[in-house]
């Protein structure tokens, strides 16, 4: 028998147990899909009925597996398989259960359910952990609901920005504090970390890929190297001057053209940075003239848009902020408008732990791709807090944040197998 931190009878038994846990994994994937059904896609609203019903399904399943279930002050769901005699800090496997509106079923949810599959496989293989294994369903990872993302992990690790509890839910209008309280949390306790990062042994997250890198590579899984951090301005407002459509160009202060100019200027910045070997991304998600004022026969005096800037290193992300302000000033001068960037939020980049990269790659076997994720995830906050963090990306056709996500369950089970083997040999 191999030496291991967790006793097991054989690698073959572990592989068989992972295969057997696919039934549980598929049942949970189908269950959260039914909860979120919102044709043509899936909607599980954060701190709302969709996310909460998914939490309830996972909690019921965890109790049936002999796991301890609790809800913290941020309303995150913790499901712990206790070690008989813990020899070290817990290992957390986590992700989120909320979605954007009418999205696919797998972004986030697959990672939480993979954690349940890992515990089920280890239990079936006769393994008893020497470390507590905790599956976390973190609240409100998606920024669409409050204009701020990664909220559950921010709550857990004391990383909520000032004023966050007063942000309002896009559907209910409740503040974040009211929303947390309504789901069993306690916002009065969120001024400090709910967990001391040094007391967490490791954080693992499985997540569907959001660019077709694994489709291209023909691999079911990949080992993540880093997640980008982001700088976000969800409510940019450009103010010019309303005018008749025949007004000559030299007299115009056209807010709509200024919005287009700002967008294309940021794209030029993006391409220039990538040409210098500094990967990043620019996304304009909201882009419109106000519906109550726009007209076919009027130059728009106001324009609204959003901006998400992403980069993989803290220094690069920090350098992009003054670059953004330079671009804004240039567009203002060129177009005769004022640009109010409005509220700002940021998430730190998430470089994965080198030791975990190597350990997960060894468990995955020869030739597994190593790749950056284009998305920011709860893993970012754990990595930024000093917790050893590792991620496994799972093959997925058609990207994410749309109804056409197409992850195959056997590919997710490959990620379950890698995490189970790492835990069994740790």
95 CB-contact burial (10 Å; exposed 0-12 / middle 13-18 / buried 19+): buried
User: pLDDT tens digits for 215-229?
Assistant: 999 999 999 999 999
Pairing of strands 338-340, 91-96: unpaired
Yes or no: say if 103 and 96 are a contact pair by the CB < 8 Å rule.
no
The single residue listed with the structure tokens 């949810």 is 109
Q: 96 a known binding residue?
A: yes
Q: 401 a known binding residue?
A: yes
Yes or no: say if 108 and 376 are a contact pair by the CB < 8 Å rule.
no
pLDDT at 10: 66
Which H/E stretch holds residue 184?
A: none
Yes or no: say if 68 and 76 are a contact pair by the CB < 8 Å rule.
no
The whole-model pTM stands at 0.87
Q: What are the CA-CA distances from residue 366 to residues 4, 11, 179 (Å)? A: 21, 17, 46
pLDDT at 347: 86
Which H/E stretch holds residue 303?
A: strand 302-311
pLDDT at 194: 97
Q: CA 117 to CA 223: how far, in whole Å? A: 19
User: Do 11-228+349-424 and 230-346 have matching folds?
Assistant: no
Q: CA 32 to CA 126: how far, in whole Å? A: 28
Structural domain boundaries in the chain:
11-228+349-424, 230-346
User: pLDDT tens digits for 380-399?
Assistant: 999 999 999 999 999 999 99
pLDDT at 426: 77
What stretches in the chain show pLDDT beneath 50? 1-8
Q: CA 237 to CA 234: how far, in whole Å? A: 10
The fold for domain 230-346 equals Alpha-Beta Plaits (3.30.70)
Q: 34 a known binding residue?
A: no
CATH 1.10.10.10 fits 11-228+349-424, yes or no: no
Task: Look over the chain and give the mean of its residue pLDDT values, rounded to a whole number.
Answer: 95
Q: 207 a known binding residue?
A: yes
């Amino acid at each position: 028998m191999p030496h291991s931190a967790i006793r097991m009878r054989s690698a073959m038994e572990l592989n068989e147990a992972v295969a057997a846990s696919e039934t549980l994994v598929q049942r949970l994937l189908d269950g959260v899909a039914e909860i979120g059904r919102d044709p043509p896609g899936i909607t599980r609203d954060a701190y709302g009925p969709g996310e909460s019903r998914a939490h309830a399904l996972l909690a019921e399943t965890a109790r049936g597996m002999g796991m301890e279930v609790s809800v913290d002050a941020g309303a995150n769901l913790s499901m712990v398989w206790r070690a008989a005699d813990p020899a070290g800090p817990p290992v957390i496997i986590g992700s989120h259960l909320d979605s954007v509106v009418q999205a696919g079923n797998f972004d986030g949810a697959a990672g939480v359910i993979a954690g349940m599959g890992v515990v089920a496989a280890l239990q079936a293989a006769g393994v008893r952990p020497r470390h507590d294994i905790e599956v976390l369903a973190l609240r409100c990872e998606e920024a669409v609901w409050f204009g701020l993302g990664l909220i559950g992990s921010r709550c857990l690790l004391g990383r909520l920005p000032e004023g966050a509890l007063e942000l309002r839910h896009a559907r209910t209008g409740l503040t974040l504090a009211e929303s947390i309280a309504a789901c069993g949390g306690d916002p009065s306790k969120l001024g400090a970390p709910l967990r001391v990062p040094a007391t967490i042994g490791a954080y693992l997250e499985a997540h569907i890929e959001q660019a077709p890198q694994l489709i291209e590579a023909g691999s079911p899984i990949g080992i993540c190297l880093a997640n980008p951090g982001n700088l976000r301005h969800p409510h940019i407002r450009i103010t010019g001057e309303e005018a008749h459509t025949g007004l000559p160009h030299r007299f115009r202060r056209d807010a709509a053209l200024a919005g287009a100019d700002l967008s294309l200027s940021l794209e030029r910045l993006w391409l220039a940075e990538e040409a210098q070997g500094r990967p990043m991304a620019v996304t304009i998600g909201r882009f419109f003239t106000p519906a109550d004022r726009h007209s076919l026969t009027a130059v728009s005096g106001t324009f609204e848009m959003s901006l998400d800037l992403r980069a993989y290193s803290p220094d690069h992300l920090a350098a992009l902020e003054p670059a953004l302000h330079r671009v804004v000033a240039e567009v203002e001068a060129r177009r005769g408008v004022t640009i109010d960037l409005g509220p700002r939020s940021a998430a730190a980049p998430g470089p994965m732990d080198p030791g975990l990269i190597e350990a997960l790659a060894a468990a995955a076997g020869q030739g597994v791709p190593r790749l950056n994720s284009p998305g920011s995830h709860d893993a970012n906050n754990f990595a930024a807090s000093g917790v050893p963090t590792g991620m496994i990306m799972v093959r997925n056709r058609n990207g994410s944040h749309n109804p056409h996500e197409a992850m195959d369950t056997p590919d997710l089970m490959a990620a379950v197998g890698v995490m189970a083997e790492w835990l069994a040999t740790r």
